[in-house]
With several copies, the nearest count.
Chain A
Amino acid sequence: MDKTVSDLATAVAGIEDGMTLMIGGFGGSGAPIELVHALIDRFRATGSPEGLIVINNNAGNGRIGIAAMIDAGMVAKMVCSFPRSADPRAFTEKYRVGQIGLELVPQGTLAERIRAGGAGIPAFYTPTSFGTDLAEGKPVAEFDGRMYVQERWLKSDAALIKAELADTMGNLTYRKAARNFSPLMAAAARLTVVQASKIVRPGGIDPEQIVTPGIFVNRIVEVADAQQEEALMRAGVAYG
Chain B
Amino acid sequence: MTEKLTNAQIAWRAAQDIADGAYVNLGIGFPEMVAKFQPPGRQAVFHTENGVLNFGESPPEGEEDWDLINAGKKAITLKPGAAFFHHADSFAMVRGGHLDVAILGAYEVAENGDLANWSTGPKGVPAVGGAMDLVHGAKRVAVITDHVTKDGRPKLVKRCGLPLTGVGCVTRVYTSLAVVDIESQRFVLREKLPKLSLDVLQAVTGAELLVDGTIGDLIVPEV
Contacts and interface: CB of A to CB of B under 8 A. Distances in A.
Given A84-B127, A171-B81, A175-B67, A131 B166 contact: yes
Interface of B: 20-21, 23, 43, 45, 47-54, 65-69, 73, 78-99, 114, 119, 125-133, 136-137, 163-167
Contact of B88 (A30, A134, A184, A211): A184
Interface string A182-195: 11100100000000
B83 A177 contact: no
Contacts of B23: 215
Given A107-B49, A115-B88, A203-B80, A1 B96 contact: no
Contacts of A92: 125
B14 to A, nearest CB: 20
A83 B83 contact: no
Contacts of A85: 73
A215 B67 contact: no
Nearest to B73: A27
Interface of A: 1, 26-30, 57, 81-86, 88, 91-92, 95-96, 102, 104-112, 114-115, 117-121, 126-134, 167-169, 171, 174-184, 187, 201-203, 207-208, 210-211, 213-216, 228-231
A109 B125 CA distance: 19
23 contacts: A1-B45, A26-B73, A82-B128, A107-B87, A111-B86, A111-B88, A111-B90, A112-B91, A120-B95, A120-B97, A128-B132, A130-B166, A131-B114, A167-B81, A168-B81, A174-B84, A176-B68, A177-B48, A177-B52, A179-B51, A179-B85, A180-B87, A214-B54
Sorted from nearest, which 8 A-B pairs have the closest CB atoms? A202-B81, A203-B80, A108-B91, A108-B133, A120-B95, A131-B167, A119-B92, A111-B87
Nearest to A130: B167
A220 to B, nearest CB: 12
Contact of B86 (A82, A133, A176, A180): A180
Contacts of A203: 80-81
